[in-house]
Amino acid sequence: MMATEGGKILYLVYRGLSYGLTPLVYLHLRWRHFRGLEHPIRWRERLGLPSRDRPPGHLLWFHAVSLGEGMAAIPMIKCCIERRPNMNILMTTTTLSAFQVLKDRLPSNVIYQFAPLDIPAAVDAFLEYWRPNAILLMESELWPNLIMHASRNGVALALLNARMSSKSFASWSGPVALPLVSLMLSKFSLISPLSMTQGINLQLLQAPPFIINFSGDLKYVMEEFEMINNDTGDIEDLRALIGNRQVWMAASIHKGEEEVILGAHKCLKERHPDVVTIIVPRHPHHGQEIAHELQKQGIGVSLRSRKETIEKGNSIYVVDTLGELRQLYRLVPIAVVGGSLLPGLAGHNISEAAAAGCVVLTGHHVGHFSHMVHEMQRLNPSSVTQISGEEQLANIIDRLLSDGELLKSHQLAATQAYRALSCGITESVWNMLIFHIFSKDFSSQSNLGSYKLK
């Protein structure tokens, strides 16, 4: 009881501070808009101002902060549309990069908006307009104003693929913040952690044990997306340009990691003179920086945004575009998944490369993706190989490019591990939603969208 009261007091303090800081938050949003970090027209959605009409009937709101979480939500969105066709679906994300990719990936009948900032005016305006019957938050989106306002008005809450970084866990588990996070977690009807470790951490943060249910990591669930804007032709053209040359790819590279990749590439060129290295930075502008630096050094490089071809003298191809990674994985036999080669990084989704049939290499700094690495390695040690430094990376790729049988065995190991771990996840999550969310909050057809928020 004392913990609950402490959480309520902390929430009132948070709400008061977020209310008082609203003018500064607004100025910060305008500054981001000025710098091109927010949508040029739709940035006001971040203040809870809608750009679409709210259709009548039940409305289910999915929220994901960025691209990876948004992609993980799409299979569940499609499942909901297929099994509850009369239900309206609202999808929100926070980042502009997520919007640029997901707007063309979502089913046409899904309403897509930017998420409101967690300030009282924005959250209140958003919820009062959209009146969701349930909110499905992806991964680690714990926002006090949103959660408390929704709970106060009887809106069902679920946290899917729930996870918390070690840094966030340390912050929330401190004596000051623990009562607040405990209060927030108590408002959920369902929490589905992406691993056993995450489930234990959530219980240590005093989430009620009976709402924690395991289903598997939704990031294992791959969807076949249609290529858009004639990208199919572009990808096939790239395949033709590569031809019979040996090729490998470094994906989702962060700043500083290009030095490891380019060092390995230099070593490989001595052993495989015709090798092609494809570099896909996490952020497109980083790719342009890499290309510019290589050109200054007189090294031949091709940039995808300029539709430059891979000339005979060029062996580095930099992809400075968004939304093509899954298709690019299909072009290469070996993929290094970045965001993992340097301390302080937290890894990226390795299952996309495994699903495409690549040999999967990654660094040791994989953060909350460590469960994915360990699960795949447990099924087959050859499914994921972790590397340290450019020399080890170059040696492993050299062996794979020199031994076709070894290459095929590692590709098969990754694919089989992925298939075993991805089986049945969507169905499991759907069944949990039926039991914990829909059966309680979607049973009355006469009450569709009729509640009033306070």
CA–CA separation, 108 vs 227, rounded Å?
15
Residues linked to residue 280 through DSSP beta bridges, in sequence order: 251
Q: CA neighbours within 13 Å on the CB side: how many for 246? A: 18
Q: What is the 3-state secondary structure (H, E, C) of the chain?
A: CHHHHHHHHHHHHHHHHHHHCHHHHHHHHHHHHHCCCCCCCHHHHHHCCCCCCCCCCCEEEEECCCHHHHHHHHHHHHHHHHHCCCCEEEEEECCHHHHHHHCCCCCCCCEEEECCCCCHHHHHHHHHHHCCCEEEEECCCCCHHHHHHHHHCCCEEEEEEECCCHHHHHHHCCCCCHHHHHHHHCCCCEEEECCHHHHHHHHHCCCCHHHECCCCCHHHCCCCCCCCCCHHHHHHHHHHHHCCCCEEEEEEECCCHHHHHHHHHHHHHHHCCCCEEEEEECCHHHHHHHHHHHHHCCCCEEEHHHCCCCCCCCCEEECCCCCCHHHHHCCCCEEEECCCCCCCCCCCCCHHHHHCCCEEEECCCCHHHHHHHHHHHHHCCCCEEECCHHHHHHHHHHHHHHCHHHHHHHHHHHHHHHHHHHCCHHHHHHHHHHHHHHHHHCCCHHHCCCCCCC
Phi, psi of 204, rounded to the nearest 5 degrees? -65, -25
Contacts (Cβ under 8 Å, ≥6 apart) of 134: 60, 61, 155, 156, 157, 158, 437, 438, 441, 442
392-423 in b/e form (b: 16+ CB < 10 A) is ebbbbbbebbeeeeebeebbebbbbbbeebbe
Active site residues: 69
Contacts (Cβ under 8 Å, ≥6 apart) of 328: 235, 249, 251, 278, 280, 319
